[in-house]
Amino acid sequence: KFIGYDENSKVCYYESAEESPIRRSIYKIDAKGNKTKLTTGEGVNSATFSDNFAYFVNTYSNANTPARITVNETKTRKELRVLQDNAPLKAKLKEYSFAKKEFMKVRTASDIELNAWIVKPADFDPSRKYPVLMTQYSGPNSQEVLDQYKFDWEYYLASKGIIVVSVDGRGTGARGEAFRKCTYLRMGELESKDQVEAAQALGELPFVDKDRMAIWGWSFGGYN
């Protein structure tokens, strides 16, 4: 994702998923191809730069850490000020036994490796078999599987003993042009196939009750 270009220094600033499809980092690169990573947090970073690109505001979070917003100096990458660290929210979350969101790979019968997240009950017992709800959107160039903080209803379901899984199938973003464009003129075909085959793969996990699996989607996910 292009963020901006400094005409004086001939430097381009951008956001990239080059380290992992589920993560984002901020970079700069000069006309000679010299690249510098400006952010350090492993998760999802976004940035807004000052007009002269001397400073930037970095918003960072990961799947289990609420957003932290800081002002940084571009040249040194030094953190100058914390605008928001969500300390009250972090303290409140510690009072509850919420499950942690985990990331996994799902290999389908079509031999396609898909990125997924899974939220298990906080008191998860690997010797038990749990019902599973799959939630997905699957729209073109979208992503539900991101290492970014999002506290949603999957945590409530997990507290009721239900495992929740989201799988990004073919057509979703940050996996390259071929992966994204393979659904062109075939909307709903490969996306649905990937969700079905992902469900079959999940059903083989020792802690999944394959007779109690459901899938839910919104907007394109409902169509899918």
- Each residue's pLDDT, cut to its tens digit, for the chain (224 residues) gives 999 999 999 999 999 999 999 999 999 999 999 999 999 999 999 999 999 999 999 999 999 999 999 999 999 999 999 999 999 999 999 898 889 999 999 999 999 999 999 999 999 999 999 999 999 999 999 999 999 999 999 999 999 999 999 999 999 999 999 999 999 999 999 999 999 999 999 999 999 999 999 999 999 998 87
Residue 22's nearest CA partner among 50, 45, 52 is: 45
Rounded Cα gap, residues 209 and 39, in angstroms: 41
Q: Quick one: pLDDT at residue 139?
A: 94
Which residues does residue 57 pair with via DSSP β-bridges, in sequence order?
48, 71
Q: Quick one: pLDDT at residue 223?
A: 84
CA-CA-CA-CA torsion for 116, 122, 126, 132, nearest 10 degrees? Answer: -50
Q: Quick one: pLDDT at residue 97?
A: 83
CB 219 within 8 A of CB 139: yes
CA-CA-CA-CA torsion for 176, 103, 142, 202, nearest 10 degrees? Answer: 100
Q: Quick one: pLDDT at residue 114?
A: 99
Rounded Cα gap, residues 65 and 41, in angstroms: 11
CB 140 within 8 A of CB 183: yes
CB 142 within 8 A of CB 172: yes
Output the pTM of the full model. 0.93
